[in-house]
Amino acid sequence: MTIDRLLPTQEAEDLLALTREIADKELAPRVDKHEREELYPEGLFRTLGEAGLLGLPYPEEYDGGGQPYEVYLQVIEELAARWAAVAVATSVHTMSAYALMTYGTEEQRQRWAPGILGGGMVGGYSLSEPQAGSDAAALTCKAVREAAGYRITGSKAWITHGGKADFYTLFARTSAGSRGISCFLAPGATEGLTFGRPEEKMGLHAIPTTAAHWDGALIEADRLIGSEGQGLQIALSALDSGRLGIAACATGVAQAALDAAVAYANERTAFGRKIIDHQGLGFVLADMAAAVDSARATYLDAARRRDAGRPYSRQASVAKLIATDAAMKVTTDAVQVYGGYGYTRDFPVERYMREAKIMQIFEGTNQIQRLVISRRLSRP
């Protein structure tokens, strides 16, 4: 169904209409085959970039879309309702551009932003390590300063678009302690950088997730973003925005599951009536709808605070927590609505359920979101 959205401008209305058109034409017809066969959608991100969908929340002067976050996130939701893996990768790309656009120098933005925001490049985010997931301060990948630049040695993990991205926002240790982490805009094609075999995941099959191995790779000194030791601050700031992207992805998947369940419940009959007319099932669908509406409301509240320049870190964690838990519940209920058919690959609801699970985990597990929320509550 087409969501009745409250958008701030006519331009935003037109952008959402364009997004739905592209999603229906380019994403929906391809998703089943690509997810089932684990095929990367070659050329698709260039199509999204040419449509202006890869730089939406960044300034137009750098080839961005100049859109508020509340509009950008609703674009992400529409993409996710058709193809979650593509929406997640788009969200990660946007988060990967954040360090450059927020902490980079004007010279750095002029040099790299047009390619990143204009659709010529796709980015990955390289923070996690095998032993440093939720505890980002524990990372050990090293960046040693030399005359020619920084020599990077170590391994990173769980990189969306690993081996496919044109650049990676990389976090590496330049000195000891939590203030010893620095941020780099690293080229995807770098001598000494290799990638592991794509992870065999439960869902999001079309976009690879890999480890990266830096074997003394040299990157130029001017690819340092911000100052040495500022990396953890940059990473955590970027994650606030990234969590909103995942909340929007989760809402899109939940909406798709709800739409499928409602359509099926209107077609299937039992005991002489459509199954939607049986109160027990009608109430399940009502709860699903309420969960989707609530998820959307929480991420939009956080986005509007961000757009207004107000603190939104707690609200971002609330949105990520509420939306991803809702997606898990709604997609599970959608499988239940379909009965035995829902457990087969003949219908998309089993895929939605698998896709929803990871959204409770990445960009900070939902246990970490509860920790963030509780700590914000205890502050005076």
Does 13 participate in catalysis according to the annotation? no
Rounded to 10°, the helix 313-338/366-377 angle is: 140
Q: What angle do CA 64, 69, 71 make, to 5 degrees?
A: 90
3-state secondary structure of 207: coil
Q: What angle do CA 78, 83, 87 make, to 5 degrees?
A: 65
Alpha helices in 268-312 (DSSP H): 279-307
Alpha helices in the chain (DSSP H): 10-22, 31-37, 44-50, 69-82, 84-103, 106-117, 231-267, 279-307, 313-338, 349-359, 366-377
Task: Using DSSP bridges, classify how beta strands 193-195 and 209-219 pair: parallel, antiparallel or unpaired.
Answer: antiparallel
Of the chain, the end-to-end C-alpha distance in Å amounts to 44
Rounded to 10°, the helix 231-267/84-103 angle is: 160
From the list 70, 78, 355, 363, the catalytic residue is: 363
Show which residues are catalytic: 363
